[in-house]
Structure 1
Amino acid sequence: MDVDTKLLDGALPIVATLVLAVLIGVIIIRRRSGHRLPPTVKALPLIGGLLRFLKGPIVMIREEYPKLGSVFTLNLFHKKITFLIGPEVSAHFFKAPESDLSQQEVYQFNVPTFGPGVVFDVDYTVRQEQFRFFTEALRVNKLKGYVDQMVTEAEDYFSKWGDSGEVDLKYELEHLIILTASRCLLGREVRDKLFDDVSSLFHELDNGMLPISVIAPYLPIPAHRRRDQARKKLTAIFANIINSRRCAEVSENDMLQYFIESKYKNGRKTTDSEITGLLIAALFAGQHTSSITSTWTGAYLLQNKQYLSAVSEEQKRLMAKHGKKIDHDILSEMDTLYRCIKEALRLHPPLIMLLRHSHSDFSVQTRDGKEYDIPKGHIVATSPAFANRLPHIFKNPDSYDPDRFAVGREEDKAAGAFSYISFGGGRHGCLGEPFAYLQIKAIWSHLLRNFELELVSPFPETDWNAMVVGVKGKVMVRYKRRELSAN
């Protein structure tokens, strides 16, 4: 008994120390995580917030932001999506290296559309080199050549309009944008000889990207089967074009040509499959966003006579200075039109959600000083559609006011970086932003110079059900050709 008692007396301090250590550890963990984890959206067991998410992420954010603040988590089955809303908490989202926050896992659903060996089907180092190809193809010296083609496409397209009539502006701009993109990106062979075939195949690719595709991109449904067939046919078409170009002595001025001539750092040339995939990615990145933004720009201008007059007067000043000519440098002088496009994009960014996958823990601090820890493994999200309308950044945020970007106000800069995120920002900002602005300016400068326009249908609503959120229904416009043509 004495021996047992002595052993027990000796063990008690050890046990007490271990228990105390465990309790301290639990307290520390709770302080580090449980007490600083973001608040969670109330949702059903098991499926979590799936129903609310499918109802519309923007609706959900609008409901939860006033209650939970700028950082909160939504449970979706076994996944956790943490939203960072506003520049105060989203800096890490935009600035973090790929090793901390990556795109690849969350955008895997694009792989069947873009094809193997490009963008989200390759590791980060290869993807960075491919993004370098895009960057080089969109440098100013290249853009200047593209502008000439944009202007020519706009002139040819609108020359087919009569002296007066009514058109669905949304339909017209969608078709003009794909024509322009074909000329500047896909090449003259597609634009001049194969446009109808290639356009219909891209349409099948587009229709094969459904909400279910995000969750199950390889599900054997008819839309996915048509998508895969279209991808194979596009590969065959571009293989012939690429082969002809490799044998040609004359170099073309388009993105296709640059991809053909591009090389990786190890000296390897791009393959036919890679070139096709990069072209598809480029067209998908720009076609919808440019046509949607062109339409919203027109709808707002025709609804707001003050700004319609301002952009029209700007065109008159430029014509007095430069004559009828339009080129890259003249488009760059269109500051008023630029602000009108930028404001339409603020109110209606086509990409309403940006996503990353977190590979490490990180912390954020809100405007009111609250600190939250976001654990490794969370999907991290931000929303341009919501963040672009925060009232502490933009005055009367739901109002169309292009002058908010004018010198002296510059509301998008007052709160610091990442206040305006229609084109994303940071490490993964949109590479095609300069191309998009030039394209939309080229179209609208031609329309403003050559036509009197009037919106005759109700102001359009937002089509929240689309994968790339755009304009719902028709945008009917009455036009009358000006007697003294600017061109």
Structure 2
Amino acid sequence: MDLYENNKFVNVGLVFLATIVFTKLVSSFLASRSDKQRRPPVVKALPFIGGLIRFLKGPIIMIREEYSKLGSVFTLNLLNRRITFLIGPEVCAHFFKAQETELSQQEVYRFNVPTFGPGVVFDVDYSVRQEQFRFFTEALRVSKLKSYVNQMVVEAEDYFSAWGETGEVDLKYELEHLIILTASRCLLGREVRDKLFDDVSALFHDLDNGMMPISVVFPYLPIPAHRRRDQARKKLAQIFSNIISSRKNESRSEDDMLQCFIDSKYKDGRGTTEGEITGLLIAALFAGQHTSSITSTWTGAYLLKNNKYLLEAVEEQKNIIKLHGDRIDHDILSDMNVLYRCIKEALRLHPPLIMLLRHSHNEFSVKTKEGKEYSIPKGNVVATSPAFANRLPHIFKNPDMYDPDRFAPGREEDKATGAFSYISFGGGRHGCLGEPFAYLQIKAIWSHLLRNFEFELISPFPETDWNAMVVGVKGEVMVRYKRRKLSC
């Protein structure tokens, strides 16, 4: 009897244990299945290489095709990486607002280190990078911007004074050249602008050409372009070392970003090193030069194609001249709302950075406007695309049409669906620090051109150069000009 009872209890125990194990297995299976159901849909692609070929042929084309099939959240397998795309403001809040411990820039942007140099931006941990971003913020505060505007205006006046009464020019080339001159004066300093511009400009050209698509994957590959990049950076470091030493030895201070970086101090009281100053200046010029020259060119091309907005922009200049005469300063530029909307619309249609990237350190969830919820795994690269998101038809009416009035009071399409509908300058924690500088620079140039010249676009309307690392204007933008003096 005792043996029977013991066996009975053993059997009951085994059944109970088996029930628990079975329940856990079923729960695990269902949870796994549920988890898989919550994962974003995956783009169909070839084994191993994934969507590499389609991606290299044109990421925007790929995004457009998959968005129409898979919706606003989808994953692309790319070699040994998974890139999850979040398209539209409904799913992008976490992308822009997450802390660095959750979604970080450093892992995906380390290919910039050979160009910017060691010890700055993406070669340092987040706490140091935040302090370096504070240096940028202080160099771009309103009081500094006001002094930069004066330099921008002088550069524009000097540059266009060399034009004749009439002529034909490549607007793209002219604006690129003027903006590097202006950036040299405001950012790199008087010494570079007045004495070393040609040398420094050539070195930056080698740095720029050393940033190619292959550089993103293999930044240290021993190819000629990378060797020229590395040599150019060494020479730039020596040039800035000499300028910094000269200023310190002569106790001389200038009104430029270089001086701001020389005077900057970390929270522990440590000053910036010459290597850090050089790296920060290179990063600043890279961030600003392309955006300003590309957007200035698109702004002009669209104004000359759309007479309605050209006339409105000219009329605005007449009204400002009536109030302030020929004077232009920071506050006057800030009042140019028509020109601002024209620039903003050109940036909406042609943001220089077509993709923004982060690395996910934690799993997180997003919900689409249709109510679907997806779980984004830890370890994925997370991406969004200003070039595509800025043309979503449920946010912007007739999204492929140039219509600056969409930003006018009463419409403000970029605000109708909340934050992150317009992301030409990014947003959230990593919004572009140079946005105010860029707008002031482009306004300073185009206010001068609208006041002093009549233009006619004589080449076909330009196409987008999708092959460039920073997406710009393809080919020449030829215009015929005639000098005039705008009056009220």
CA contact (8 A) 2:318 2:486 kept: no
Task: Write the letter of the residue equivalent to 1:29.
Answer: S
Instruction: Measure the CA separation in 1 of the matches of 2:464 and 2:53.
Output: 21
Task: Write the letter of the residue equivalent to 1:278.
Answer: L
Which residue is 1:19 aligned to? 22
Instruction: Measure the CA separation in 1 of the matches of 2:76 and 2:11.
Output: 50
Percent sequence identity over aligned pairs: 77
Q: How far is the alpha carbon of 1:14 from its aligned partner?
A: 1.3
Q: How far is the alpha carbon of 1:370 from its aligned partner?
A: 0.5
CA contact (8 A) 2:318 2:487 kept: no
Q: How far is the alpha carbon of 1:13 from its aligned partner?
A: 3.0
Matched residue of 1:105: which SS?
Answer: helix
Q: Find the partner of 2:438 among 430, 436, 453.
A: 436
If the length of structure 2 is used for normalisation, what is the TM-score?
Answer: 0.97
Q: How far is the alpha carbon of 1:83 from its aligned partner?
A: 0.4
Deviation by residue 1:142-183 (Cα, 9 ceiling, x = unmatched): 000000000000001101111111000000000000000000
Which residue is 2:370 aligned to? 368
Instruction: Measure the CA separation in 1 of the matches of 2:418 and 2:486.
Output: 43
Which residue is 2:290 aligned to? 288
Task: Write the letter of the residue equivalent to 2:321.
Answer: M
Which residue is 1:233 aligned to? 235
CA contact (8 A) 1:459 1:475 kept: yes
Which residue is 1:44 aligned to? 46
Instruction: Measure the CA separation in 1 of the matches of 2:412 and 2:284.
Output: 30
Instruction: Measure the CA separation in 1 of the matches of 2:116 and 2:66.
Output: 35
Q: Find the partner of 1:222 among 197, 221, 224.
A: 224
Deviation by residue 1:251-306 (Cα, 9 ceiling, x = unmatched): 21100000000000000000000000000000000001100000000000000000
Deviation by residue 1:218-243 (Cα, 9 ceiling, x = unmatched): 01111101100101000000000001
CA RMSD of aligned residues (A): 1.4
Q: How far is the alpha carbon of 1:210 from its aligned partner?
A: 0.5
Task: Write the letter of the residue equivalent to 1:17.
Answer: I
- Tell whether 2:411 aligns with 1:409: yes
Deviation by residue 1:363-409 (Cα, 9 ceiling, x = unmatched): 00000100000010010000000000000000000000000000010
Shift in CA distance, 410/337, structure 1 to aligned 2, threshold 3 Å = same
Q: How far is the alpha carbon of 1:9 from its aligned partner?
A: 5.9
Equivalences for 1:309-458 in 2 at 5 Å?
309-458=311-460
If the length of structure 1 is used for normalisation, what is the TM-score?
Answer: 0.98
Which residue is 2:278 aligned to? 276
- Tell whether 2:193 aligns with 1:194: no
User: Unmatched 5+ residue regions in structure 2?
Assistant: none
- Tell whether 2:116 aligns with 1:93: no
Instruction: Measure the CA separation in 2 of the matches of 1:248 and 1:379.
Output: 49
Deviation by residue 1:294-350 (Cα, 9 ceiling, x = unmatched): 000000000000000000000111111111111111101100000000000000000
Matched residue of 2:282: which SS?
Answer: helix
Which residue is 1:244 aligned to? 246
Further displaced range: 11-20 or 340-349: 11-20
Instruction: Measure the CA separation in 1 of the matches of 2:10 and 2:343.
Output: 81
Instruction: Measure the CA separation in 1 of the matches of 2:392 and 2:7.
Output: 70
Q: How far is the alpha carbon of 1:7 from its aligned partner?
A: 5.1
Further displaced range: 279-288 or 316-325: 316-325
CA contact (8 A) 1:324 1:486 kept: no
Which residue is 2:471 aligned to? 469
Q: How far is the alpha carbon of 1:26 from its aligned partner?
A: 2.0
Instruction: Count residues in correspondence.
Output: 485
Instruction: Measure the CA separation in 2 of the matches of 1:6 and 1:323.
Output: 101
Instruction: Measure the CA separation in 2 of the matches of 1:30 and 1:263.
Output: 53
- Tell whether 2:6 aligns with 1:30: no
Instruction: Measure the CA separation in 2 of the matches of 1:286 and 1:41.
Output: 34
CA contact (8 A) 1:450 1:486 kept: no
Q: How far is the alpha carbon of 1:19 from its aligned partner?
A: 2.3
Matched residue of 1:249: which SS?
Answer: coil
Q: How far is the alpha carbon of 1:25 from its aligned partner?
A: 1.6
Instruction: Measure the CA separation in 1 of the matches of 2:68 and 2:137.
Output: 39
Instruction: Measure the CA separation in 2 of the matches of 1:359 and 1:248.
Output: 48
Which residue is 2:60 aligned to? 58
User: Unmatched 5+ residue regions in structure 1?
Assistant: none
Q: How far is the alpha carbon of 1:485 from its aligned partner?
A: 6.1
